[in-house]
Structure 1
Amino acid sequence: MTDSVRVIGVSALHGRVLAVDRVDAVFRAGAVTAVTGGNGSGKSALVAVVAGVHPAAQGEVVRPPGGVALVPQSWSADRPLPLSVRAAVAMGRWHRRGRWGRLCTADHAIVADAMERLGVTDLAGRQIGALSGGQRQRVLVAQGLAQRAPVLLLDEPTAGVDAPARAWIEDALAAEADRGTVVVHITHDPASVERAGYRLHLEAGRVAAPVPPTAGAGIGVRS
């Protein structure tokens, strides 16, 4: 379990509201885990705590060394636009080289691999703003893959995309898990839940048990 992520008694606040309430969970290396639950169930807050971008009010998260890649649901308004697809994916290497550092040959190879895995190689020279929503989302996931972190967290990566884009993204997540990465994504899509190896279902900030029979029951049970 040394390469997995362990969540131990974690609670977290959203403002003054308890968003995550004493959650215990294990996100396994080499597997895709779907985090599910209704609106306000604490999914995004839990993933933010696991990513280290939101503080835990209590408890702790034990992560493998090497950092965490966090892929948001969409491009935020403060992203530096316009920029090309290749440049956007290359941003995933900034944590290694710094924003102004030059990418080495290995970095360029990683960027090219991430673009190929998401089917955006032929879009490399196009501007992000000129892409469809599904294309932009694939570029965003490719940027996450380019980080080559041992933990990959995604907030609804297939929300609002068409079937081909969904297939590219889900295939890439499965391949990333096959590399030994901890892959965790929030989803409302039953097909994505079915494809994931494991499911963590939240209700009112707590792990719910049992979960619907189609997705197994409890933590660490295959879907």
Structure 2
Amino acid sequence: MKSDTVIEVRDLCASYHDKKVFDNISFTVGSNQIVGIIGPNGAGKSTLIKAMLGFLPIRKGCITYKKQPICKLRKEIAYVPQRSSIDMDFPVLVEDVVMMGRFPHISWWGIPSKKDREIVAESLEQVGMYQARKTQIGQLSGGQQQRVFLARALAQKASLFFLDEPFAGIDMSSESKIMDILKALRDTGNTLFVVHHDLSKADSYFDKLLLLKNKLIAYGRSEDVFQVDCLREAYDGKVATFNKQKGMLVVNG
């Protein structure tokens, strides 16, 4: 697959409330890539994507997308946050949630056009949730909700996607459906970052892995990242080995 560099992160340092989360992170990513961001709890995985998105002030460093500051290309960037950060009791219909993905393309005084409504319908069809378009978001299962939030990102017609723990607490059917969609997005030239915790699936889900523990420990293909020394450093001295035939990561204390 063709993979020109589209994202460059240089010497990135970010903090929460003056407490440094990570420092001096640098890497490049091409098109047609799904990058899995992995590491233990508190390693800075979600902080990294929020810093890249500009949701957090960065202490130093820079992020460029297509050789421009990432902040100048907001319409091309879609973000799917953790479901736990969203108020599911808010009375909003599925189709209205997905329409939010069209807001970057609608003037502040305008209303959604016929084209916008068609894109919303197409996005819901793509994730298998069109029949639930008139349902309140809080009435759906966790997997269904996650598919709706992915539809919102699809409706934005972005080329760069950030997903924070999209598979947390969802059923296997939804996980498989979402992964198929992410791979299809990759295969049509998009770049995706996915925060993920299940290391046993990382080899089959992602083209590149970015292993964090408050710094960049390793970046590359799974066979390069799943090295004993790298995993020991990330997971507090535990030794881990990856059995590719069984698709399992075995961690020994």
1:39 aligns with 2:21: no
Residue matched to 2:62: 60
In structure 1, which of residues 180, 199, 202 is the aligned counterpart of residue 209 of structure 2? 199
Is the radius of gyration larger for structure 1 or structure 2?
2
State how many pairs are aligned. 216
The Cα offsets for residues 53-111 of structure 1, whole Å up to 9 and x where unpaired, read as 11211000002344321110116455782111111111100111146632223322321
- The 8 Å contact of residues 86 and 125 in structure 1, kept in 2 or not, is answered as yes
Q: How does 1:1-223 map to 2 (within 5 A)?
A: 4-64=6-66, 65=73, 66-74=75-83, 76-77=85-86, 81-98=90-107, 101-194=110-203, 195-203=205-213, 205-209=214-218, 215-217=222-224
Instruction: State the identity as a percent.
Output: 31
Gaps of 5+ in 2: 67-72, 226-243, 245-253
CA displacement at 1:122 relative to structure 2: 1.3
TM-score, length basis structure 2 = 0.78
- The 8 Å contact of residues 9 and 24 in structure 1, kept in 2 or not, is answered as yes
Alignment partners' CA distance in 1, 2:92 and 2:109: 15
The structure 1 segments of at least 4 consecutive aligned residues displaced by more than 3 Å after TM superposition are 64-67, 75-80
Residues 191, 143 of structure 1: alpha-carbon distance in 2 compared, 3 angstrom cutoff: farther
Alignment partners' CA distance in 1, 2:108 and 2:132: 23
SS at match of 1:172: helix
Gaps of 5+ in 1: none
Alignment-mate amino acid for residue 171 of structure 1:
D
SS at match of 2:218: coil
Alignment-mate amino acid for residue 222 of structure 2:
A
Alignment partners' CA distance in 2, 1:106 and 1:17: 46
CA displacement at 1:31 relative to structure 2: 1.3
SS at match of 1:40: coil
* Larger mean Cα displacement after TM superposition, 9-18 or 92-101: 92-101
* Larger mean Cα displacement after TM superposition, 48-57 or 79-88: 79-88
SS at match of 1:174: helix
Structure of higher RCO (CA pairs closer than 8 Å, 6+ residues apart)? 1
Residues 82, 75 of structure 1: alpha-carbon distance in 2 compared, 3 angstrom cutoff: farther
Alignment partners' CA distance in 2, 1:87 and 1:134: 18
